[in-house]
Amino acid sequence: MNVMRKCLITLIILGIFTVAHSQDNKGTLKFSISEAQTYALQNNRSIRSAKIDIDIANKQVKETFGVGLPQLTLAANYLHQFVIPELNFGPALDPNSLPDGFITKNDILNAYVPSPFIPLGVRNNTTIDLTVSQLIFSGEYLVGLQAIKVLKQVTEKALVKTEAVTKESVAGTYYLILVLDESVRVLKESLQSIDKTYNDLSKMNKQGFNEETDVDQIKISWSNLKRLITSIESQRETSIKLLKYQLGMDFSQPIELTDSLPGLIKEGNMQYLSEPIFTVANSIDYKMLTDQVEISALMLKREQSKLLPTLSAFYRHQEQTNQPSFNFAVKDVVGATLSFPIFTSGQRSAKISQARFNLDKSQIGKKNAEQGLIMEFEKAFNDYQTAFSNYTTNSESIILSKKVYDKTLIKYHEGVSTSFELSQNQTQYLTAESTYYNSILSLLNAKAKLDRILRIN
């Protein structure tokens, strides 16, 4: 009875744990910008694929290295012969056929009898062959070892680049969602203000204190603002799906962003006001191109190494399950193979020339990319400075626009201003607001791009 009670308690505890764990899986995941980037580094599908490429490269290194190690081969060959060749040595003297006593010439001739046929094989036989081979020297193999190691380095650098691009894209989408959230918040506040104004004007119109066109003008502004909020909210939903896609999670998983837009603005976004030091040699793109040049040089070396001889040795042991009467096969054999290319009708020279041209192209591409990376950095830094300048200007503009709009709203309620002026100043304020948040987004995206170029984590 006690055993059953303990089992029941255990099952209840496990059931509670399972339910709680299931609820956690379905719960809302909360991310700061750094947490979202960290999550993406672990779950983004492109990054996971790049990590698999590294695993494949590691196996390719082992595969190539194994070519130069001893190779052991066991083979079995079954053979069935429909016709077995036979050997006959002709007539042979049979001493038993000779008479006793005096032997004449005819007795000797008559004593020759046909010899039996000797089979030179067996009808069914299985040959087991054990061979051990070892590559002693191959220039192509030695160069191949160097090339496959460089290719592994390329895949590792490709992962680093994929991670940097993913972090930038996650940051850009995260910033966009925060900007959209802030825009919706401000627009809803404006909507509440317009809604109150509309209700007040409607009551005044019923009492004959204003014209119906004033009420209609405010209603049009209210409708436009409502439509704009709906559009931004729809854009936010699309951006949330994009962020989930970049994070590598299911669309049905609810998430919450914990960072605020004002907090991100204050968090070190002025660190690039003085130009940072950019070293091309530290760029992951430049390092990948350097590896590509090295690979091209090794490919040239590989083609040239094919002019060298290839030397290998082997040992072979052979066993037969059914030994024939006459068996000239040697069970144990040791040998060596030397292969030396003499004449290839110009094919080898053509391949060497092609490899040399590819090396020249790689070197030109590296130099061209070096200049391009410098230009990319300079443009990114200039874009950041421009974005910061626009942000500063727009920060002042939105304050002034809000001040003008609030004063116009007060004047309108006092009957000093018209509905047209109110609508015009409201449009001016909303435009300034949109420009302000766009400048924030441009500033944050410019910083994210510089972070990627400079590889600042």
Q: What is the pLDDT of residue 342?
A: 83
Indicate whether 189 belongs to any domain.
yes
- CA-CA distances (angstroms) from residue 286 to 57, 200, 403, 457? 21, 65, 51, 19
Indicate whether 295 belongs to any domain.
yes
Indicate whether 246 belongs to any domain.
yes
- CA-CA distances (angstroms) from residue 117 to 33, 113, 114? 93, 13, 9
Indicate whether 399 belongs to any domain.
yes
Mean pLDDT, the chain cut into blocks of 10 residues (457 residues total): 41 38 63 94 95 94 91 92 80 77 76 78 88 92 92 94 94 94 88 77 66 74 87 94 95 93 73 82 92 93 90 92 77 90 84 93 93 94 91 90 85 75 82 89 91 76
Q: What is the pLDDT of residue 272?
A: 74
- Number of domains present in the structure of the chain: 1
- Residues 248-269 pLDDT 10s: 999 999 999 999 888 887 765 5
- Residues 354-386 pLDDT 10s: 999 999 999 999 999 999 999 999 999 999 999
Element housing 277 (H / E): none
Nearest Cα neighbor of 234 from 273, 309, 166, 180 is 180
The token pair that represents 262 in the structure block: 């004002």
- Provide the 10 A C-beta neighbour count for residue 130: 14
Indicate whether 325 belongs to any domain.
no
Residues of the domain holding 255: 28-68+138-306+341-454
* SS3 sequence of 10-25: HHHHHHHHHHHHHHHH
Indicate whether 87 belongs to any domain.
no
Q: What is the pLDDT of residue 341?
A: 84
Indicate whether 333 belongs to any domain.
no
Task: Kindly report the length of the chain.
Answer: 457
Question: Looking at residue 234, which CATH number applies to its domain?
Answer: 1.20.1600.10
Q: What is the pLDDT of residue 224?
A: 85
Asked if residue 171 lies in contact with residue 206, where contact means CB atoms within 8 angstroms, the answer is no
What pTM value is reported for the model? 0.78
Element housing 111 (H / E): none
Give the span between the Cα atoms of 94 and 401, in whole angstroms. 134
Indicate whether 50 belongs to any domain.
yes
Q: What is the pLDDT of residue 456?
A: 54
